[in-house]
Chain A
Amino acid sequence: MKRLTILVAAALALAAPPAWSADQLKATLGQRGNWDTAVIHLGTKAGIFKKHDLEIETVYTSGSGETLQPVIAGSVDLGFAVGTLGAMAAYAKGAPVRIIGAEATGAADYWYAKTSSPIKTLKDTDGHTIAFSTNGSSTQSIVRAFISENKLTAKPMSTGNPSATLTAVMTDQVDVGWASPPFGLKEIDAGQIRVVAKATDAAIVRGQTIRVIVANTDALAKRRDVIARFMQAYRESIDYMYSDNPQVIKDYAEFVGVPESVAKRVRDDFFPKALIWPDEIKGIDTLMPEAVTLKFIPEPLTPAQLSELIQIQGKK
């Protein structure tokens, strides 16, 4: 039995590609296909992580909760696109997570209506229904901001993910839908729908870090240098994503399965570089009361707690 194990191990060692001793990190990511969650994929394709002696294994999830849970359990080291409120909630309960960077400051989400609908701008939505994904999500905060900032009488309605929302809009179950690019750009081009508003139309959203990068506390303590190196590579990847290199658009288009023109529009029209730059968590002062209202945390976090929770890594 033992001999067999050795044999198998030897065979595996021989079969494996020449062993290069890269540091490995595991990460969960929400929303596969979004520009902001494609950083690791694109950076890896360009060999940036390899250059830093890193190997990243990514697992895609269907939501912020599922992204966070494995981080807390320690089965992955990093979590991407975790809702800021969710991260705060977990921390407040004593869960071993720390915010190590911003994932999205402001949002690229946009709201749209059917082309045949009379709704052209947010002002026209009075008395109509307007979609957000689920309770407690960032899209709900944005819709609430739309309504309060513009004094609208529109009715918010939970419609789930962009696919379900598009169907709801096209079958008149809801008047204004939401989507996150590149989703829906094809329909916009085809003239089926038109954009009514962008998330950044809500003043409050522009300065809010709505999604963050989290790390398991244990992993952070033991492999601080690896994680710092990772964040360095992450920043380099973002720099590369906004460079003139046409390869990045090609890779992204292939990753998501859209034409390159659409891929380029996603970056140029919806995602300013500042949106995905990880160095600063913004808008804590407006996020905190919201977290309390939505029952994510029982009371606001103290400054001491905040400085323990937020530990930006690898910032120059």
Chain B
Amino acid sequence: MCLAIPARIIEIDPATDIAQVSLGGVRKEISLALVNDAQVGDYVLIHVGYALNKLSEEEAEQTLALIREMGLLEATEEEGATPGGQA
């Protein structure tokens, strides 16, 4: 549930707590009312026009690294495994 997408803050109006975020060339106005200390350059998770939370770059990289590691381990063991389909 709860469609949300990460976008980068490119501008903040401190008076209104409204920010401009950018996502793949699209700019959108969102409210920062739900997050503290968001800065220009931060990535925030956008949901119904609000930033829900900041994203952690570090954690994202660690997750990706872990995924690569989990996959690689396997890839060496069972190259080309083809699990059967089930809908």
Q: Do chains A and B stick together as partners?
A: no
Q: B interface vs A, CB < 8 Å?
A: none
